[in-house]
Structure 1
Amino acid sequence: MAENLWRHTVNQLDPYISGQAAKDAEKQAALKEVSRLATNENPLGPSPKAVAAMQQAVLDSHFYPDLTSLELRKKLGGLHGIDPENYVTGNGADNIITLVIASFVNPGDEVVYCTPTFSEYHKNTLLVGGTPVEIQTTRDHKFDLEAILEAINDKTKLVIICNPNNPTGTIVADYELRAFFSRLPKHVVAVLDEAYGEFISIPNYSTGVEFMKEGLPVITIRTFSKSYGLAGMRVGYAFAKDEFIRPLQAVREPFACNRVAEAGAIAALDDEEHKQNVLRSNKKEMEKLIKEFRSLGYSVEETHTNFLFIDMKQDTNKLAGELFSQGFIIRPCAVWGFPTFARISIGTSEQNDRLIQALKEIRSGAASQV
């Protein structure tokens, strides 16, 4: 059997499963329109400036891209006030996660984080022979920093904090994070996954930028997939002090960020108006959806992202099937151990209105059968 030739850890890995593509769903169910509210994409799309830049860059696609994305790193450095040499770019935030774990974790080392959270921490730790140490989130679905500190031992190499967390949308208070990073032993590196960081609207909330400038031992990961609407281009990056960023630069594959994607990311950073429009729309629709979901009797967690983590008081696998027949794709959370919860992305105003109407019709139909 060819499987006997596989690396031993491969059998422990589960392929990443994303939300179903809208076009595939339309064909499968013969639907005229499908709203994909499972993958936390930006419903307003990328900046027109980014689109124009990418179209222009296609004309030069016979040339290799810049090896280290120097222009993008300069742009990010100017935005954050950080030296461009303290950045590394990659093929999406998930690629950066792979680089971080491959750069620091040896066989037998432990990586500590809370669950439920992004599955790639678990997968990549196993892939390099490390040991994932998973701790349950708090009752209010936040990362349990004290429990993480208690789990640290001589084998611990990384602790990963997803903030805001996926799939719960919750955040930890910045003063708690600052204290947590300060208490880490010298042999432990902190990783702060801020894929949804741009959606945090708390005034004066400190992020990885501030923590790095304060000299705290943290690697911060971000992406252009969410607020910038470039999920299909796959642009992620990390920043950290020199001793933490150099190994990532060494492990990183050549040309990890393609020419078209880099052009789009650079132009996206120049369109602050579009980004603010995305954030305003997201906040407005989020507040509307929370009110509507609660009126339907669902429990909705406070969120700092572009999605909602909702206890829908029923089997969400079944509900997802019913919504699919009406043209909506949502993410049931049974895989994370929450069978009555769903993660639902915040769509356009029209999509959100139709979703609420569909849920009302489903509830009405269920009531009529009692």
Structure 2
Amino acid sequence: MTEQLWNHGVKKLKPYIPGKSIEDVKKELGLTEIIRMASNENPYGPSPKAIAAAGEALMQTHLYPEPSNRELRGKLGELHKVDPDRILISNGADNVLLIIGQAFVNPGDEVVYCSPTFPVYRTSTVMMGGVPVEVPLTADHKFDLEAMLNHVTPKTKLIYICNPNNPTGTVVDSNQLRSFLQRVPKHVVVVLDEAYAEFISIEQYKSGIDYMNEGFPVISVRTFSKLYGLAAARVGYAIAPAELLQPMLAVREPFPVTRASDAAARAALEDVEYTNFILAENLKGMKFLSAELAKFGYETVESYANFIFVDTKEDVQPLYDGVMKEGFIIRPCTSFGYPHHFRLTIGTHEQNERFIAALHKVKAGKTTTI
């Protein structure tokens, strides 16, 4: 009887299954220390300046936040060289993606994206009565631009491109993406989910903002959760032409970001030395882990994010269970359709070395008995 009251779209949703929490694993296995390398979090945490700024802002928690995040948009405008009025701030990139669905998708509208990828694209589409059109990734785990174009119809409203893609860490070629955008029909909006864009180190790489400045009707979605280490603060943003932001601003809640989160984000942008340190350490960790994982016979996909997509060539579940008993949480990719793969977040140098040591124990059959 109760289900008869539900929104019809809710019945079609697949609940998002996040990686196990540190708290749950501690309780389940009786461990005192857990290192989570499953959720693509910044292992070094946020800039000390961001923490200090958030603490100071907490003294004004009795006041509502400034609703337009004017100062933060101003700093982002300077960083990206865009008009701050073309920026929308909300509580996390996933919320920005939900806002896009609310703003553009009508019942029956089609939304095209490749799969596997970030599941919010499907969720936001189904919630609004839209039709998800899922296209397989290419053989090298990238978004298949040509196949997506072939699936565009008069009913298509949105196209999502996760670049770099989650969970594979791959990017699409900039020239191919420009050619793709030139051929997308005018009735379709392209959303570039660039949550990991700051980690890309490709020479002359073009971002969604570059394409927007060239006049393409694209929306770039970014986050402070990854590079800036503010995952719990929930700060994400979109950069788009004014006509695309207008409906998004209409459905966005009035006070989406707390004063503390806004202050932390502003301070994080100012600490360029710290973000450069994070980028350098991530690159070193990527090289170390890729080389060590290869010694196990595992294959890794070239990644431009803060994680690695690893093919173990066998059922990944025993490996997942084994390293968890050693105090490490990784992300098995079975739910993404990859039963032999796992996604591994780049940790600190110490965490990376300890993970490889734990992996040796698991492969040697010397896993800790709980």
Tell me, yes or no, whether TM beats 0.5. Answer: yes
Residue 206 of structure 2 aligns to which amino acid in structure 1?
S
The corresponding residue for 1:8 is: 8
Give CA-to-partner distance per residue, 1:116-171, whole Å, 9 cap, x none: 10001011100000000000000000000000000000000000000000000000
Q: SS where residue 89 of structure 1 aligns? A: strand
Q: Determine the structure 1 residue equivalent to 2:330.
A: 330
Listed one character per residue, the Cα deviations across residues 15-44 of structure 1 (whole Å, up to 9, x for unaligned) are 222112213312221112111011000001
Q: SS at the partner of 1:192?
A: strand
Q: 1:247 — aligned with what?
A: 247
Task: Please name the residue that 2:118 is paired with.
Answer: 118
2: distance between equivalents of 1:234 and 1:17? 18
Please show how residues 165-204 of structure 1 align to structure 2 within 5 Å.
165-204=165-204
Tell me which residue corresponds to 2:233: 233
Equivalent residue, structure 2, for 1:58: 58
Task: Indicate the residue corresponding to 2:134 in structure 1.
Answer: 134
How many residues are aligned here?
Answer: 367
Amino acid at match of 2:236: G
What secondary structure is seen at the aligned counterpart in 2 of 1:182? helix
Give the corresponding residue for 1:297. Answer: 297
Amino acid at match of 1:119: P
The worse-fitting range, judged by mean Cα deviation, of 165-174 and 202-211 is 202-211
* TM-score normalised according to structure 1 size: 0.98
- 1:81 counterpart residue number: 81
What value does the CA root-mean-square deviation take over the aligned residues? 1.1
**What are the residue-to-residue correspondences of 1:337-348 with 2, within 5 Å?**
337-348=337-348
**In the TM superposition, what is the alpha-carbon distance from 1:315 to its structure 2 partner?**
1.2
CA distance in 2, matches of 1:105, 1:217: 16
Amino acid of the structure 2 residue aligned with 1:18? P
Question: What is the percentage of aligned positions where both structures have the same residue?
Answer: 52
User: Are residues 1:29 and 2:21 paired?
Assistant: no
Per-residue deviation, residues 272-312 of structure 1 (Å, max 9, x unmatched): 00000000000000000000001110010000000010001
Return the alpha-carbon distance in structure 2 between the equivalents of residues 214 and 184 of structure 1: 15
2:41 matched residue in structure 1: 41
Q: Please give the alpha-carbon distance, in whole angstroms, between the structure 2 residues aligned to 1:314 and 1:169.
A: 21
Q: TM-score, normalised by structure 2?
A: 0.98
Letter in 1 for 2:5: L
2: distance between equivalents of 1:12 and 1:38?
27
Moved more, 353-362 or 144-153: 353-362
CA distance in 2, matches of 1:272, 1:229: 13
The structural deviation recorded for 1:229 is: 0.2
Letter in 2 for 1:99: I
Indicate the SS of the match to 1:76.
helix
- Please, which moves more after superposition, 297-306 or 199-208? 199-208
Instruction: Give SS of 1:365's match.
Output: coil
Structure 1 residue runs of 5 or longer lacking an equivalent are: none
SS at match of 1:292: helix
Q: Letter of the 1:365 partner, please give it.
A: G
- Cα distance in 1 for residues equivalent to 2:44 and 2:237: 22
Residue 365 of structure 2 aligns to which amino acid in structure 1?
G
SS in 2 for 1:18: coil
SS of aligned partner of 1:232: helix
How many angstroms does 1:175 deviate by?
1.1
Instruction: Report matched runs for 1:278-293 at 5 Å.
Output: 278-293=278-293
Equivalent residue, structure 1, for 2:214: 214
What is the SS of the residue equivalent to 2:222? strand
